[in-house]
Each structure stands twice: as C-alpha cells, then as structure tokens.
Amino acid sequence: MSVLLLSRLQFALTISFHIIFPAFSIGLATYLVVIEGLWLKTNKKVYYRTARYFSKILALTFGMGVISGLAMAFQMGTNWAGFSKTVGPVLGVLFTLESLTAFFVEATFLGLMLFGWHLVSKRLHFFSTIMVCFGVTLSAFWIMAANSWMHTPAGVVYESGQFIVVNWFHVIFNPSTLSRFTHMIIASYIATLMVIAMIAAFNLLRKRFQSFALENLKLALFFLAILAPLQIIIGDLVGLKIHRYQPVKTAAIEGLWETKKGAPLVLFANISQQERTNTYSFEIPKLASLINTHHLNGELKGLDAVPDNELPRVAVVFYSFRVMAGLGFLIVMLTFLGLYYWKTNSLTSKYWYHRLLVISAPSGFIALLTGWFTSEVGRQPWVVYGLIKTQDVVSQVSPKQVLNGFIVIIITYGLIFGVGYLSFFFKIIKKGPVMKSRLANKTALPERHHD
C-alpha cells in the first residue's frame, strides 16, 4: 500500500477513536447541567445520585479524550508534515484559540466539579458544571470551525503554497461552520442520550435502582423526542450547504453519475466506481432533487464531468450516509415508541423494549461516525476543498515507517481504549449509582456537605 493510503487509514482510525470521547463528554456535561439544575430546584435525592454517577463516567471519558487527542497531534507531525506547514497560518491559530479559551476552562472547572462536592456550595458547584459544559462546547466550536474551513475555505488567499488570512471572521464563520457545528453538537447529545437510555434500561431489566432508572429513561426519551426530529431539520440545512459548495459530495451521497433534473433518491445500489454506474438500484423518483434543492425538478450535478483523480470513494460515501440516516430514523422510532409506553404507564414492564434499548446503545455513536465518514471521505481528494489535494501534504516517509506506527497505534488503542476504557465503563454500569456516604439516603442534602 502507498504512504498516502496508509496515512489516511491511520488517521481514520485515530480520529474515529478520538471523536467518540469529546462527543460523549459534550453530551454528558450538558446532561449534568440539566440534572444538577433539577437537583437544585427540587432537592430530590435521585438527581443528586444521577449527577454523582454520570460525573464518574464523564471523568473517565474526558481523560480518554485528552490521551487520544495527543496521539492525533503527534500524527500530524509524522504523517502530514506538508499539511501542518501549508495550513498552519490558519488552523494553527484556531487550535491555539481552542486550547486557550476552551480547554483551560473545561480542565480547570472539571476538577472543581468532580472533587468539590464537599468543599463548595451547591450554587458554586453548579456554576462549575456549567463552565465545564461551556468549555467542551466551545472546544467543539473551534474544532468544527477549523474542519468546516477545510470544506468551505473562506477569508484567505492562497499564494506561493501558503495561506494568507485576510479576514478572520470569514475564516471562523465560513459558510458551513454554524450548520455543521450545530449538527455535530446535536449528534453528540443524541448519542449520549442513547447510552443514558441503555443504562436506565439495563437497571430496569435487573429490577434495581428503579427510581434512578425510570427518571433517567424518561428524561432521555423527553430530550430525544425534541432532538432527534430537530437533527433531521439541521441535517437538511447541512445538505443544502453541501449541494451549494460541494456538489461532488452531494453526487457521491446520492450515487448520481449523470447530471439530472428531478433526480431519483437511490435507496440502495451496487456502486461501481470503475464503470461509473449503479446496478441493482432501488430508486424513488425525484426525491433526491427534492431533498437537496427543495424542488421536485431541481438539478443535481452528476459525477460524469469529474475526472477520475478528483473522485472520492463513492461507495464509502454512499453507504456511510445511508447507515447514518437509517440509524437516525431507528432512534426516532425507538424514542416515540418509548413515549407511547410512557403515556400508557407501561414503560417499566416492557422488558423487550428495554433489551432493544440496551442493544441499540451504540447506534448514536455509529451514526455520528458514519456521518463523519460521509463528510470527510466525500471531501476527498481535497484536504482544503478545491485548493490543496491530500496527496500533496503527506509526509515523505516510507510505507514501512507508517505501517509500523499504524500497528503500534492499533495495539495501543486496543489496550487503552478497547480493554481499559470499556472495562472501567462497564464496571461503573454494573455497579450502578451506589452512594458510599452515610448521608446518601437523605432526601434533603446539606448545602455544603452533600455526600
């Protein structure tokens, strides 16, 4: 295999591992703000137990996010030296802002949130939780601004192999930043809520911690009922941006080889990039045009005019998008089925539904990852869309060097994340929200000594 392919596969592995932890941290931190706010308002023990319980998972997840992020930073220097040199004047500043304005905030207040239960008042502790949530969300904004700039570059001129920034506002708020940031944040919330629903369902199946499990399942369903349909609307806005600024990606998503008005939605097909055709295709007339242009006879540009060396891997983009969309609709159906059982007072007795929630727990994160694959593979072969190709910024190293590093990363990630993180994560789930302190059984907790 070539250095380019090996480097891309290695980056795909590291980013796939890394993205899970920040997304989970965003969702957990936001959920903890809601839970702690409910505790302050009602003083109910179940909310305090929930806050302490999910704080443990957040601490574990945040640590893994930092470690995996460092691995990615080193990889940029070893495998993508040309990228760092070329886009450094733009992305280097954005990453520095992310560290100075976001990471320091979340890291500082995370310590107070995790260890300050005995030391500070309820309101100050709640403020620290809000700041952790603010920090992880702001961090996501800077990262998504940087990534979105690579998709829809703006505010720069490209001269002599270097980017010169002429307008930082346009760099940060490039045409796709806000829609993609919102889409990513909501995806993080949904993925986290599916895990929370799984934890609640797991406890209901074991007939333990009933009040904790039922309260968290209801909260998860309530927020999913809002966020899952909203994500479809935001996804539509992202699709409109892609159609306008990256028509090749739209064509790859739709498996469209020829420019058409009233293009059909291809639900499934066997994609042949070599022959530039689809076989065994199942289509719905005009629906692709309606979705991407909001007009039944809107024109979609096909891949027929795109040279072979500028085509993304169409099959990867095509199938990844359908996995993402399919899982999204699965989550919607599970949510509204749960709401129906909630309304009919049968939510606690539907054990088959609880088992389905446990099985479906990874669906949000799988949807998030496949959405990321759709976006990033669909941008190829460009690293900065329309300006710099990925092959032009890969490091000049031997395939053996990249392969050796790749093997080390696979083993290390398998041990640290696959064994280490998951073993601790499942240990926390199996143990449940057990409180060690003698004050844990009190309904009204003291102002300063909550435990």
pLDDT in tens, 413-440: 888 787 888 888 889 998 888 766 544 4
pLDDT (0 to 100) of residue 421: 85
As for how many domains the chain has, the answer is 1
User: What is the C-alpha separation between 195 and 189, in angstroms, rounded?
Assistant: 10
Is residue 268 pLDDT above 80, yes or no?
Answer: yes
Cis peptide upstream of residue 89 (ω within 30 degrees of 0): no
User: What is the C-alpha separation between 130 and 427, in angstroms, rounded?
Assistant: 27
- Locate 181 and state its tokens: 């940031």
Asked if residue 126 belongs to a domain, the reply is no
Q: What are phi and psi of 257, to 5 degrees?
A: -95, -25
pLDDT (0 to 100) of residue 110: 86
- The boundaries of the domain holding residue 311 are 175-397
pLDDT (0 to 100) of residue 101: 83
Please, which residues have CB within 8 angstroms of residue 60's CB and are 6 or more apart in sequence? 421, 424, 425, 428
pLDDT cut 90: percent of the chain above it: 58
Residue 188's nearest CA partner among 245, 159, 227 is 227
Asked if residue 280 belongs to a domain, the reply is yes
Asked if residue 274 belongs to a domain, the reply is yes
Residue 288's nearest CA partner among 248, 253, 238 is 253
pLDDT (0 to 100) of residue 448: 37
Asked if residue 162 belongs to a domain, the reply is no
Q: What is the mean pLDDT of the chain?
A: 88
Average pLDDT over residues 342-362: 93
Give residue for tokens 């995996």. Answer: 68
Q: What are phi and psi of 299, to 5 degrees?
A: -90, 130
pLDDT range class, residue 319, cuts 50, 70, 90: very high
Asked if residue 318 belongs to a domain, the reply is yes
Please, which residues have CB within 8 angstroms of residue 33's CB and are 6 or more apart in sequence? 126, 129, 130, 133
- How confident is the model over 23-55, as pLDDT tens digits? 999 999 999 999 999 999 999 999 999 999 999
Q: Do β-strands 260-261 and 265-272 pair in parallel, antiparallel, or remain unpaired?
A: unpaired
pTM of the model: 0.91
pLDDT (0 to 100) of residue 436: 64
Average pLDDT over residues 78-91: 83
Asked if residue 433 belongs to a domain, the reply is no
Q: Do β-strands 265-272 and 277-284 pair in parallel, antiparallel, or remain unpaired?
A: antiparallel
Element (H, E) at 373: helix 363-379
pLDDT (0 to 100) of residue 405: 79
Asked if residue 295 belongs to a domain, the reply is yes
- Locate 101 and state its tokens: 């304005």
Asked if residue 391 belongs to a domain, the reply is yes
Residue 366's nearest CA partner among 329, 431, 320, 315 is 320
